[in-house]
Structure 1
Amino acid sequence: MGIIKNIEEIKKISKVKSIENENFFEVFRDFNEELKKSYDKPVKNFYQQLTKIIDCRECGNCCRDIIIVFEKDDIPLLSKGIGKSEKEIVEKDFIFYEKHQVYIMNQSPCKFLKGNECSIYPFRGTECREFPYIETKEFSKIYNYVFQGYSICPFHFNIVEFVKNLSVDNLKIN
């Protein structure tokens, strides 16, 4: 299977492969840390290849299907970008989640999504800037999020397919 970008096709395939993915996730979860870490470099390299093929700004599916989170430090930038007071923004558009000290958007899809594009792209929150997380975090630390995003994100979908096809024998364990 080649690289798949079309989110509707990804959703169809994810339904067909749900049991296969669940089984693989359970096996991967039980790998020792050294073996999990051996996937980090190949996944990072594959991700770099994917960035030449997939453009998040053409999809926007994460903005429809994932809870939108803004960190406290994101609110001043958003306020400046959209010309509203921080107080007005948090009271109107977010719910404060005390446990994690973050703001969660009170509607879905994201109110700033216009078509498939983010209308506040330069002012988007940290979580949005870092998604799909592969660039800033090691796969061995976030594999559970990547598997959860299989049906939502073309990056996550293609990375899971890539990982399932990697042979443990061909991985270099440091």
Structure 2
Amino acid sequence: MTWSIAGTLTVLPALDHPELLAEPVAKALAALDGADRVGVAAIDPDLADTAEFCAAYGSPLDASANCVVVLGKRGGDEKLAACLVMATTRADVNGLARRTIAVRKASFAPMDRAVAETGMAYGGITPIGLPAGWPLLIDAAVAAAPEVVIGSGLRGSKLLVPGDVLAGVPGAVVLDDLGRSPE
């Protein structure tokens, strides 16, 4: 597959390179419809944060998507979920995400908890391979994108994925306006 968003990356078929993926990502990818259309590229782990990655590799910021882990609470119950939004936006955690996962209060999950629960590296958490039962909220702009760059579960690589493949991840719910313009 030819990737218009790859910049200077060398993109390889993700299914053929599990060594570039966190273990839960590799397992989930193997069972995902459309996985043959997913690419992976090795990167410098010090450049994994979106802005630095885009600047270093020439991949457009508006073709990157960020996955954030949300911790919701209602009474004494807690619920974890993930939101995937374009990197040029911010997840509406306290509005749409909170209402969709039916909690009273929502915030970003603490880093150590997000890492422990997902089995992925902070700064590389991705929607493919999240724990079973977690809601995955995907902004409609991500689902409609022909291709986006996301984490691989590790800081040393990135996945390149068509939006429709992400929309097909088990547990995914596509929502309009989940990603909001930064204020």
Normalising by the residue count of structure 2, what TM-score does the alignment of the two structures yield?
0.27
Q: Which is higher, the Rg of structure 1 or of structure 2?
A: 1
Normalising by the residue count of structure 1, what TM-score does the alignment of the two structures yield?
0.28
Q: Which has the higher strand share?
A: 2
